[in-house]
Amino acid sequence: MNYASFVTSGDAPTWGVVEDGIAYDLGPTGANLAPTLRSAVEQGLFGMVGPELQNAPAYAEEAIKFLPAIPDPGKIVCVGVNYRSHQQETGREAHRTEQKAPTIFTRFADTQIGHLQPAQMPLTTSEFDYEGEMALVIGQPAFQVREADAFQYVAGYSIYNDFSVRDWQLATTQWTPGKNFPGTGGFGPYLVPATVLGDLDRLVLETRVNGEVRQKASVGDLYFTIPELIAYVTAFTKLSPGDVIVTGTPGGVGRFMTPSGLLAEGDVVEVEVTGLGTLRNTVELVH
């Protein structure tokens, strides 16, 4: 069952279930089970909805405007250089053999965009790049979680495109500026309950630019696994229901291609993950 945050008419945000091309409104403009998808996760409604769909207002999927899967997470924790193939292309593979902890940076919630919304390339950069990733959403309060228990804290999974302004990102050793321009955090289209995905190692992540495959990797190729990431992050900060961990991108980003594969205005970027759908955003130059 695919959950999503969206707008059906006007500017009123809501959320619901999207199945077989139909969006069922379970939020404040519909069945009103909870004000937001984040609230539904907090209240234990996520993944439990069933009969309520019969009485919920229904819309064609093409008629809704997708919002970020969780528009209002309290925290977005991102992981850098966490696939072996990306370590190789960045020249960090040798260093990683000695690395004891993941590279962590943060993204702000108000930088996020939904499926089919434009990725905003600032006029001040010539190095706009894509990073297809899988994201997880926390389902219950999590602090000092053991690796063995980590999956119990995951509500669901989604797709992320961590659009990056590379010249700002790499100007110093701190990546935060290049990861937080407005309209650069693609998130969605759906949030899928963890219980329906099964073995994560069988999932394949693929990123395409104008139809050309740029990234393709098994989620099983993560250097730091999802339990390791949850244990590490919750060792230093408390996570709440609706918080997001973005797990890293595989090799094949535009900056390290020859010739360069950096993005230009009008490029269409798609990130597909087995069982999670396809996140699509078109690059728009912001004047």
Decide if 168 is inside a domain.
yes
Work out the pLDDT band at 86, boundaries 50, 70, 90. Answer: very low
- Can you tell me the mean pLDDT for 154-176? 95
**Res. 173 pLDDT band, cuts 50 70 90:** confident
In a domain, 259, yes or no: yes
Is-contact 145 77, C-beta < 8 A?
Answer: no
Q: Based on the fold, state whether residues 276 and 155 are members of the same structural domain.
A: yes
Confidence band for 100, pLDDT divided at 50, 70 and 90? confident
Clarify whether residues 132 and 181 are in a common domain: yes
The enclosing domain of 269 has a CATH number of 3.90.850.10
Binning pLDDT at 50, 70 and 90, where does residue 28 land?
very high
Shared-domain flag, residues 108 and 229: yes
Query: From the CB of residue 105, how many other CB atoms can be counted at a distance below 10 Å?
Result: 18
Question: Contact, 122 vs 160, CB < 8 A?
Answer: no
* Any domain includes 123: yes
User: Domain check: are 149 and 41 in the same one?
Assistant: no
Each residue's pLDDT tens digit, 30-69: 999 999 999 999 999 999 877 888 889 999 999 999 999 9
Select from 17, 38, 66 the last residue of a domain: 66
Residues 43 and 151 in one domain: no
Asked if residue 263 has pLDDT above 50, the reply is yes
For residues 62 and 81, membership in a common domain is answered with: no
Are residues 274 and 139 located together in one domain of the fold? yes
Burial class (CB within 10 angstroms; exposed 0-12, middle 13-18, buried 19+) of 156: buried
Do 92 and 57 belong to one domain? no
187-196 confidence digits (pLDDT tens): 999 999 999 9
| 169 and 106 in a common domain | yes
Q: Does any domain span residue 71?
A: no
Domain with 49 in it: 2-66
Q: Quick one: 102 and 143 in the same domain?
A: yes
Same domain, 182 and 98: yes
Are both 250 and 138 inside the same structural domain? yes
Residue 89: what pLDDT? 54
The answer to the question of residue 240 being in a domain is yes
Which amino acid appears at position 172 of this protein?
A: T
Read off the pLDDT band of 83 (50, 70, 90): confident
Token pair in block for residue 201: 């190692």
Q: How many domains in the chain? A: 2
In this prediction, residue 88 carries a pLDDT of: 59
